């Protein structure tokens, strides 16, 4: 779903004429800060025009905003003003000032209208007046108009999948164990750095329309091609038991052609269902293709219990592991040694705990044992009793050590 927002602005305008009769008389008697006030409503907002007739020998204007603060929200408005008087055509040009009004009593700066000396002297009292045309213009933001257009989901992978299926425009043929596969060099090169080097580097396949693939199953190559075009591997969506061989072949192919995403997908799939029958072969695969996560999972499974270890050792896959990946066996032995080392540390801490329980002060106990050698201070019965207690403690620690070894294996 795509959305398009449109902001529109409209204007509200109001024009009025304000007339001050007897202007000559009143302007001569009013102070600099005294003014005439004219109110009117524009678009629901209340405004007040201030006219200063004697502000330092000139006529000045100011617009004030009077609406309540709760009813306002940054009102943008302008004041246009024009002196309307016969014989003053040169002075009768509209000028304008604008401002943003946020709260009551906000106002524009005072603006100059006319100097009183420029006004003609009225010949009769009926002509003694000042008329000003004022225009208030309010800029209003219309509500946002949001137009939602339903956008279909991307089907780019379907288009590329159909291109692979049809072979339209194909410029390379892969020969895999007697089967041929049409493809497009540009697409493959964009997805695989290895194929980029083969097709557009200095290798012999750069100008050859046929490429022979060795040591790969046609079914696995077909799935890899589909991944290169669509970035999907529907074959891995099934149970691991059914797709384990395919996942292993794909992992090898992904490592061969630098397809990191496909390699991680296969590694994750194989890590989720390691069994006695597949542990050794999967470990060999992980070792050969540098899959550290998968390798750790396999070793963890193999040394989980003595029974599992014995069962894995009895498989044909383990014999293959011994012949092809001796380094993997070293990793297993190191993991087992690390587990036994943890067991020894556990037993040592347990022995310390037992001694602390029976003999809180180890130093005093050792000094006491040294002092009774040769039966110099206590009788033979006491010495034999101490020896019996010591043997009992050692026997208990030995039993606990054996139990801990079984639990930790």
> Would you state the pLDDT for residue 357?
44
Compute the distance between CA of residue 393 and CA of residue 391 in angstroms, rounded to an integer: 5
> Would you state the pLDDT for residue 359?
46
pLDDT in tens, 241-264: 888 889 999 999 999 999 999 999
Alpha helices in 289-325 (DSSP H): 292-302, 306-313, 316-324
- pTM of the predicted model over 0.75: no
The set of long-range contacts for 220-225, using a CB threshold of 8 Å and a minimum separation of 24, is 220/246, 220/249, 220/250, 220/252, 220/253, 221/174, 221/176, 221/181, 221/253, 222/181, 223/250, 224/250, 224/253, 224/254, 224/257, 224/259, 224/262, 225/164, 225/174, 225/181, 225/183
Which residues share a beta bridge with 138? 12, 77
Cα angle: 337, vertex 342, 347; to 5 degrees: 120
Q: Which residues contact 126 (CB under 8 A, 6 or more apart)?
A: none
Identify each DSSP E strand in 274-371 by its residue range.
Answer: none
> Would you state the pLDDT for residue 287?
86
> Would you state the pLDDT for residue 126?
65
For the chain, list residues with pLDDT below 50. 72, 341-364, 366-367, 370, 372-380
* Alpha-carbon distances of 127 from 22, 23, 35, 87, 286, rounded to whole Å: 8, 9, 21, 12, 106
pLDDT in tens, 303-341: 888 888 888 888 888 888 777 766 666 666 556 555 554
């Amino acid at each position: 779903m795509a959305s398009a927002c449109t902001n529109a602005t409209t204007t509200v305008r109001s024009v009025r004429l304000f007339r001050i009769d007897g202007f000559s008389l009143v302007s001569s008697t009013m102070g600099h800060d005294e003014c005439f006030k004219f109110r009117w409503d524009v678009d629901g907002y209340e405004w007040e025009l201030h006219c200063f007739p004697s502000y330092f020998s000139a006529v000045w204007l100011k617009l004030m905003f009077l609406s309540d603060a709760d009813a306002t929200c940054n009102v943008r408005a302008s004041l246009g003003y024009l002196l309307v008087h016969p014989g003053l055509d040169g002075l009768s040009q509209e000028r304008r000032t604008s401002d943003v009004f946020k709260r009551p009593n906000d106002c524009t700066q005072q603006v100059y209208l006319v100097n009183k000396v420029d006004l003609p002297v009225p010949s009769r009292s009926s002509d003694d007046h000042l008329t000003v045309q004022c225009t208030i213009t309010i800029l209003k933001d219309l509500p946002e108009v949001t137009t939602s257009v339903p956008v279909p989901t991307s089907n780019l992978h379907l288009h590329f999948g159909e291109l692979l299926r049809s072979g339209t425009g194909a410029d390379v043929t892969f020969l895999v164990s007697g089967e041929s596969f049409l493809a497009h060099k540009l697409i493959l090169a964009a997805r695989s750095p290895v194929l980029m080097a083969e097709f557009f580097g200095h290798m012999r396949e750069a100008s050859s329309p046929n490429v022979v693939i060795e040591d790969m199953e046609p079914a696995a190559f077909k799935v890899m091609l589909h991944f290169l075009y669509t970035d999907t591997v529907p074959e891995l969506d099934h149970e691991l038991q059914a797709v384990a061989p395919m996942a292993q072949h794909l992992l090898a192919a992904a490592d061969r052609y630098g397809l990191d995403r496909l390699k991680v997908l296969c590694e994750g799939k194989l890590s989720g269902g390691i069994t006695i029958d597949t542990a050794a072969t999967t470990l060999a695969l992980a070792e050969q293709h540098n899959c550290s996560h998968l390798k750790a999972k396999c070793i963890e499974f193999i040394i989980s219990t003595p029974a599992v270890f014995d069962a894995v050792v009895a498989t044909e896959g383990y014999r293959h592991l011994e012949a092809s990946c001796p380094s993997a066996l070293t990793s297993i032995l190191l993991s087992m040694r690390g587990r036994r080392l943890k067991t020894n540390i556990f037993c040592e801490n347990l022995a310390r705990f037992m001694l602390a329980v029976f003999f809180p002060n180890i130093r005093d106990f050792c000094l006491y044992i040294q002092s009774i050698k040769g039966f110099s201070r206590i009788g033979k019965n006491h010495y034999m009793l101490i020896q019996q207690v010591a043997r009992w403690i050692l026997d208990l620690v030995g039993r606990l050590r054996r139990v801990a070894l079984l639990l930790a294996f």
